Structure 1
Amino acid sequence: MTSKVSLLPQDIGSLSRTAPAARPGTLFVLGANGGMSVAPDADFPLMFGRNLPDVHVCVGAADRRVSRRQGLITREASRWVLRNTGKLPIRLPGSRLVLGGNTVELSPGYTPLFIVSTRQEHLLEVRVTASAPRGGGSPASCGADTFDGDAHELSRDERLVLTCLGQRYLRADPHPQPLTWGQVAFEVGELRADERWTAKRAAHIVTLVRHRLSKEYGVAGLLEEEIPPPVGNALNHNLINNLLVTTTLTRADLHQLDQADPRTLDQ
């Protein structure tokens, strides 16, 4: 008999791309050191926070600004409900903040939660298995929310360049900005020593992606004529945010940079 509460290994991969087989309504929560799955009828309140002995899923272990018990997820009236039991706010997609003492319902599908500290935002991944669509079909095939099935196709070069460009976002810096073209070219050149990478080549690749997503998917804010001057980093910022929201880029993409100079990756 399958347990209603199970541990998730640290190496399971991002829940944005990994959808474990489970009955509808099952909750999956994943931190940097592993996580847990809870069946909808388990009657098991899941606690997360900094102090591992006191919680089921650890998040922000090295950041004393994160509460020992930062949040609680419970099953209420056939819905999973998130309650912020800590001091720091919890950020949902779209910049919505759940302040201490407040609650919010979790929608079916994938939801990244960010514990907002002054120095870093700590990612906690959540997935709620959706119900099968009427007329048949498996849970994995149903349309859950905007985070499922919206990832854009990227070539190998595009994924590497965009991961470099947006790595500060992927690493949850509190005030992330895109890298400069020179920094991107340098890092990609370190990884591809047998190829010639310049700032102009990196910029050209990203420009093509921006125009493609604008034309084929109607993504707003990716063209210069859509942004009032001064444009600054707005185009790349908007592009990176779209790639994160659609889970085109996830934390797992940072593995591409593992061979780079560790000094460029430290947080």
Structure 2
Amino acid sequence: MRRLTVGLLAGMLLAGCTIPTGEEPAPTPLIDAPVDVPVAAAVTAVTAGFRGTAGLAVVDGSEVVAAGEDAAAPAWSTIKVPLAIAALRGDPGLANIASAAIRVSDNDAAEVLWTAAGAEAVDAVLAEGHAGTTVARERLRPEYSITGQTAWAPSDQARFAAHLPCLAGAEPVLADMAMIDPTQAWGLGTIPGARFKGGWGPDPAGIYTARQFGLVPTDEGAAAVALTVTPQSGTFEDAQAMATALARELVDLGALPTARCG
């Protein structure tokens, strides 16, 4: 476990585990947060201020610490990371289009990448990154992209982040994740040196969720994290503010495990 160089929290968060029966193997142990760290405090503080729901997960590559909301839900534009890697593997000439999809979250650029890569290539990237999901195959909501409706849990997304540095062809995408447009640099984007991607969108009732995942600098490498927030107000503006508040709440609360892959 390592302390974040920017003072961002960690030891992050209480996670439940299933009690094994006599017929089932015991689950992989979760990372133990230091007993003197209030592991659920970040999520609790943010949800108390904004109401709604929030979730936070950190993964060292295999083991998970998580608190709050961890259900598989629409990935929104965070899916553009494995999509860009898949497309660039097939055609490195799409680098500028991939950069637009990551840095400014350009949806038209993402559609070009999707047409070039296809579902199987994206699934291959997700599988190699231990992402725990597959890309959506059909447009569940006609006004939004197919890929953005991919169901992805924060804990699985954090695991994928931990494996990103080891994925073939991920280097240019990771570089783009360090150059996110300032207008989208809320939440994890307020942490110097973070490499991240955000996504956001409303549910059918118009309530916005914002989510992010990526790699945050630590003393000895990087921490793989993912967060999701849904403010009670349902506005995108409050979702951005809530994500930023969650990042701030992490400061000085403890240590994060260094992400590893392989």
TM-score, normalization by structure 1:
0.30
Higher relative contact order (CA 8 A, sep 6+): 2
Return the index of the structure with the highest Cα Rg. Answer: 1
Q: Which has the higher helix share?
A: 2
TM-score, normalization by structure 2:
0.30
